[in-house]
């Protein structure tokens, strides 16, 4: 399904750019920048949404229903989809307006300022995600299990980490999967555990999962990911600038700020994103593996780690041992087999250490 989506979007953008359609459409947008590009973007997104509707319906509603991953009615699924689309459209529109305002006024260095602006925008969204964006879809409540909260607080103290809050998320209202995350930045940073996790996992398993999230905090992983994204934004917009300049004469554009060039910019950014996906996922898997090691060290409970990973894999219908190609392209977390092997290696080292001490 993801490959089908990628092909459809790619074909649409290619037809717009090289089929002369974009140039003809731009004649109906006799507006100054960035408003011309804003209206073009809105029209493009709505059109793509309509074209992709069958794929979206099958991928995010039919398949989860078929495999008992979703508890949503069609109406609930549709409302969540509309909310997500509205938020995505507003955020995308804001980015397009800023980018084309910069292109129109700073044609030599717009790519630099666009990367800076998107970096700051990403930091803001990361900060606001657990307090504004996530509550749009889920109810978040402080963890009220006193014993479990105490257990998790002890782990946090062992990790020398000040907890800004441990919250539960009503994931069961929408599906059967389990999840946990470290969300937010600064004083909005918090641990969020799904109610499906709390209801179906032992305290020891939740402790290990919590320790994994604390590992992200100890290693400043959110900061690392934001810095990595900043570098990606800079490279992507620089490439976009080169592509726009190269396309001016062959495509008959009126400069790089021509509204007809918007799908060309989108195509270059999408192609760049596609090419670096394996590298981004490799970095993410390394970060997650490091957090797994910290979880094992903080809890010294590889048995609970293994059973927690097994439950998560079964409950979320993840592939335990994907092919290497699929892992490189799609997995931002190590698959089950690699995480279990890590726990087993930890157990062997602990046993060898105990024998040596003895």
pLDDT digits (tens, 9 = 90+) for 19-28: 989 989 988 8
What pLDDT is recorded for position 354? 61
Residue identified by tokens 């062997």 is 348
HSE at residue 95, side-chain half, CA atoms within 13 A, is 20
H helices present in the chain, as ranges: 2-18, 21-26, 35-57, 63-66, 74-105, 110-128, 146-158, 195-200, 203-218, 221-247, 262-299, 302-315, 324-330, 336-357
Report which of 129, 144, 155 is spatially closest to residue 198, judged by C-alpha positions: 144
The pTM is what? 0.88
Task: Please state the domain extents for the chain.
Answer: 2-136+222-276
pLDDT in tens, 53-87: 999 999 999 999 999 999 999 999 999 999 999 99
Measure the CA–CA gap between 208 and 211, rounded to whole angstroms: 5
Strands 190-194 and 166-169, by their bridges, are parallel
Give the DSSP letter of residue 194: E
What pLDDT is recorded for position 356? 67
* Residue ranges, the chain, pLDDT below 50: none
Tell me how far the alpha carbon of residue 296 is from its chain's centroid.
Answer: 25
What pLDDT is recorded for position 218? 86
What pLDDT is recorded for position 226? 85
SS3 of 192, please? strand
């Amino acid at each position: 399904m993801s490959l089908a989506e990628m092909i459809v979007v790619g074909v649409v953008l290619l037809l717009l750019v090289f089929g002369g359609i974009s140039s003809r459409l731009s004649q109906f947008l006799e507006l100054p920048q960035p408003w011309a590009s804003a209206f073009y973007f809105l029209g493009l997104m709505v059109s793509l949404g309509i074209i992709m509707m069958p794929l979206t319906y099958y991928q995010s509603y039919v398949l989860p229903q078929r495999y008992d991953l979703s508890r949503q009615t069609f109406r609930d699924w549709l409302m969540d989809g509309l909310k997500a689309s509205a938020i995505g459209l507003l955020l995308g529109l804001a980015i397009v307006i800023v980018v084309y305002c910069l292109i129109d006024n700073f044609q030599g260095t717009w790519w630099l300022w666009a990367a800076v602006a998107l970096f700051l925008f990403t930091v803001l969204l990361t900060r606001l995600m657990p307090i504004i964006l996530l509550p749009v879809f889920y109810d978040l409540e402080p963890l009220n299990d006193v014993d479990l909260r105490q257990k998790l607080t002890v782990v946090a103290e062992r990790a020398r980490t000040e907890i800004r809050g441990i919250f539960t998320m009503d994931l069961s209202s929408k599906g059967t999967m389990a999840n946990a995350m470290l969300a937010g930045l600064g004083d909005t940073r918090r641990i969020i555990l799904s109610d499906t996790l709390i209801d179906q996992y032992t305290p020891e398993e939740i402790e290990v999962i919590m320790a994994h999230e604390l590992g992200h905090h100890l290693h400043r992983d959110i900061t690392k990911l934001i810095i990595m994204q900043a570098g990606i934004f800079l490279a992507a917009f620089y490439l976009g600038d080169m592509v726009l300049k190269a396309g001016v004469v062959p495509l008959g554009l009126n400069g790089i700020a021509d509204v007809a060039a918007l799908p060309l910019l989108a195509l270059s950014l999408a192609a760049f994103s596609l090419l670096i996906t394996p590298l981004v996922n490799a970095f993410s898997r390394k970060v997650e593996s490091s957090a797994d090691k910290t979880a094992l060290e903080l809890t010294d409970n590889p048995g609970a780690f293994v059973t927690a990973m097994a439950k998560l894999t079964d409950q979320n219908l993840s592939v335990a041992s994907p092919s290497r190609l699929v892992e490189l392209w799609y997995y931002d977390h190590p698959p089950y087999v690699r995480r279990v092997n890590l726990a087993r290696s930890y157990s062997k080292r602990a046993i060898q250490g105990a024998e040596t001490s003895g």
